[in-house]
């Protein structure tokens, strides 16, 4: 009897886990469809807007060199500025751990790409995508913005921004051909579920 109860419990747990996986996959796919019309990979297809929001990442990748995800985002952001699509760039990331400062690294990277310091605004409290999007308005007064990141991240960011009432577009940075890890590749799915939760619980 006990063995049968354990089996039923394991089956129920397995079914619940499978359902959660399917929900996360469906959420990520739906986010991508909802945001697709606003995400562009050609800078000429974007409107002229005062502000771009560049989403942060760790400056150093797991292999010890520059984080390619971040480097490609900075390339895209500098391209936006050179094309005259935006006048200022908000670099939003985390500065909580000691000796760790994503916005400072992003600002320095943009300046190396020819963007003047006066055009760069640092948001040191962008600890989550939602926080970065919210603070674009609350801290910098930007309700119209172009968000810069890789496509898998942009879909969620543009969805959140538009649900918050922002007039938001996404500019797709070059993606990393080979993800750093399976976790890096898979985290988009639970993050999509959390984006829905953030919107519904707001």
Q: Is the pTM above the cut of 0.75? A: yes
pLDDT at 152: 86
Q: How confident is the model at residue 44 (pLDDT cuts 50, 70, 90)?
A: very high
User: Domains of the chain: which residue ranges?
Assistant: 3-201
The CATH number of 3-201 is 3.40.50.620
Judged against a pLDDT cut of 80, whether residue 24 lies above it is answered with no
pLDDT of residue 132: 95
Please tell me the distance from the alpha carbon of residue 194 to that of residue 81, in angstroms, as a whole number.
Answer: 31
Neighbours of 164 (CB within 10 A): 17
What are 147-161's pLDDT values in tens digits? 999 988 899 899 999
């Amino acid at each position: 009897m006990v063995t049968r109860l354990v089996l039923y419990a394991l089956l129920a747990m397995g079914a619940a886990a499978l359902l959660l996986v399917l929900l996360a996959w469906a959420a990520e796919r739906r986010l991508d469809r909802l945001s697709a019309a606003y995400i562009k990979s050609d800078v000429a297809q974007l409107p002229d807007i005062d502000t771009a929001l560049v989403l942060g990442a760790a400056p150093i990748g797991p292999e010890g060199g520059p984080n390619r995800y971040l480097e490609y985002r900075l390339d895209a952001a500098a391209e936006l500025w050179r094309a005259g699509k935006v006048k200022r760039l908000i670099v939003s990331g985390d500065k909580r751990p000691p000796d760790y400062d994503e916005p400072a690294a992003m600002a320095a990277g943009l300046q190396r790409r020819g963007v003047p310091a006066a055009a760069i605004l640092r948001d040191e409290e962008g600890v989550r995508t939602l926080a970065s999007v919210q603070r674009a308005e609350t801290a910098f007064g930007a309700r119209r913005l172009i968000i810069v990141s890789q496509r898998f991240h942009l879909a969620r960011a543009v969805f959140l921004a538009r649900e918050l009432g922002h007039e938001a577009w996404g500019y797709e940075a070059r993606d990393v051909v080979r993800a750093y890890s399976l976790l890096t590749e898979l985290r988009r799915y639970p993050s999509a579920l959390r984006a829905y939760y953030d919107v519904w619980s707001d």
